[in-house]
Amino acid sequence: MEGKQERHQTKSIRCIVKLGGAAITCKNELEKINKESLDIVSSQLRQAMISGRSPPTTGPGMDWSKRHGESEVFCIEDDFGEDAFADSSRFVVVHGAGSFGHFQASKSGVHKGGLGQPLVKAGFVATRISVTSLNLEIVRALAREGIPSVGMSPFTCGWSTSERNIASADLSMVAKAIDSGFIPVLHGDAVLDELQGCSILSGDVIIRHLAAQLKPEYVVFLTDVLGVYDRPPVEPTAVLLQEIAVREDGSWDVVKPVLQNMTKVETTVAAHDTTGGMMTKITEAAMIARLGIDVYIVKAATSYSLRALNGELRGNIPDDWYGTVIRLVS
C-alpha cells in the first residue's frame, strides 16, 4: 500500500473538469441530454488531453456497443497502435445532474433524509437510476471520442455524508483508475448520510473534495453562460466578472473589471444570496483557489472552454478570452 501511496504523490493530476448539468442536459425537459453540446465538450476534452502530443489524430472510439442504434463503432485492431492518452491525460471528470435526478430527488425529499419512509427510499432508487443513466451516456460520449473513461458512482465508491457534508470519501479507486490510465467520471449522486440516513451529494462538493485531495493544476467549470456575473446574466446590465483574486484567508476581490458596487464585504452575505447563486459559486471556487489551484468558469462548447481546458490561462489571461478566472494572490 505504501508503494501505491507514493505513486499518487509523484504523478500529479492535470485538471478536474465539472460538466455542469445546465451545459450538457436540456434544463427544462426531463431527462434530455444536450447531445450537440455534449459531443463538442467530449471532443474538446479529447483535444485538451492529448495537447502537447503529436499527431493529434482522432483515435478509435471505445464504445463498441450497439445501443440506441447509434454510430456503431467497430473495433479494428490495427487502429490501436499507440496510446494517445498515455502520459498527458491525467484528468478527472465530474458532472452534475441537470434534468436528470432533480425531479426524482425533490419529489421525494431524498436531500432531507429519512430512508425509513417508503417515499424517500423509492426516491433514492429513482434518483440513482436517473443519474447513473446520465453517467453512462456521458461515459459513452467520451469513449466515442477515444477517451478511456470509466464511470464511478460516488455511492458505490463508498462516499457518504454527515448532514450533507462529506463524511467519508474513499479516493483509492479513483486514484487507482487514474494510475491505470483511465479517466474517472464521477457525478452528483444520492448517498447514505450518517445522521439523516440519506442525502444528495452535489457535483460541486465532489469537485471541492477531489481538488483538495488530488491537487490538480487547475479546475474548469463548464457552464451554460460565459462565466460568473455580478447579477443574474439574463438581466441586461449584468457584468461578466473576468478575474477574481482570492487571498489565503479566503477573502476575495473582483480585480477585472473594476466594479463600484461590489466590495469584499459581500462575501459574508452568501446566506442571503439573491444574485442567482453567484455568491455561492464564487465562494465554492474561492475555497479551491485558496489552495493555489486556478479555477476557470467558462461557457461549454466554445473556443473559450477549449483554451481553458488546454491550460492556456495559467499565466496571463489573454484579452480575447471570456470567462471567469478565480485565483490565489499572495
Which grid cell is 312?
492556456
CA separation for the pair 190, 202 (Å, rounded): 9
- Binding segment for its own copies (CB under 8 A), chosen from 36-44, 107-115, 224-232, 301-309, is 107-115
If binding means CB under 8 A, how many residues of this protein chain bind its own copies?
A: 63
**Cβ(231)–Cβ(302) below 8 Å:** no
Q: Please report whether residue 211 would count as binding its own copies according to CB under 8 A.
A: no
Q: In sequence order, what are the residues at sequence separation of 6 or more whose Cβ sits closer than 8 angstroms to the Cβ of residue 203? A: 18, 20, 21, 94, 95, 96, 97, 186, 187, 188
Residues of 188-197 as b/e, b for ≥16 C-beta within 10 angstroms?
Answer: bbbbbbeebb
- Name which of 171 and 262 has its Cβ closer to its own copies: 171
**Cβ(48)–Cβ(310) below 8 Å:** yes
Q: Please state the closest distance from residue 297 (CB atom) to its own copies, in A.
A: 29
- Binding segment for its own copies (CB under 8 A), chosen from 127-135, 230-238, 248-256, 298-306, is 127-135
- Name which of 100 and 221 has its Cβ closer to its own copies: 100
- Name which of 36 and 78 has its Cβ closer to its own copies: 78
Q: Please state the closest distance from residue 1 (CB atom) to its own copies, in A.
A: 11
Q: Please report whether residue 226 would count as binding its own copies according to CB under 8 A.
A: no
265 burial type by CB count under 10 A (0-12 exposed, 13-18 middle, 19+ buried): exposed
Q: Please state the closest distance from residue 31 (CB atom) to its own copies, in A.
A: 5
Give residues 152-191 in contact with its own copies (rule: CB under 8 A). Answer: 152-153, 155-158, 160, 170, 172-173, 176-177, 180-182
Q: Please state the closest distance from residue 156 (CB atom) to its own copies, in A.
A: 4
Q: Please state the closest distance from residue 139 (CB atom) to its own copies, in A.
A: 6
- Binding segment for its own copies (CB under 8 A), chosen from 18-26, 103-111, 259-267, 284-292, is 103-111
Q: Please state the closest distance from residue 154 (CB atom) to its own copies, in A.
A: 9
CA separation for the pair 226, 323 (Å, rounded): 5
Q: Distance from CA of residue 252 to its chain's centroid?
A: 22
Applying CB under 8 A, the residues found at the interface with its own copies are: 30-31, 59-60, 62-67, 75, 77, 80-83, 103-104, 107-108, 115-119, 121-126, 128-130, 132-133, 136, 139-140, 143, 146, 148-153, 155-158, 160, 170, 172-173, 176-177, 180-182, 192, 197-198
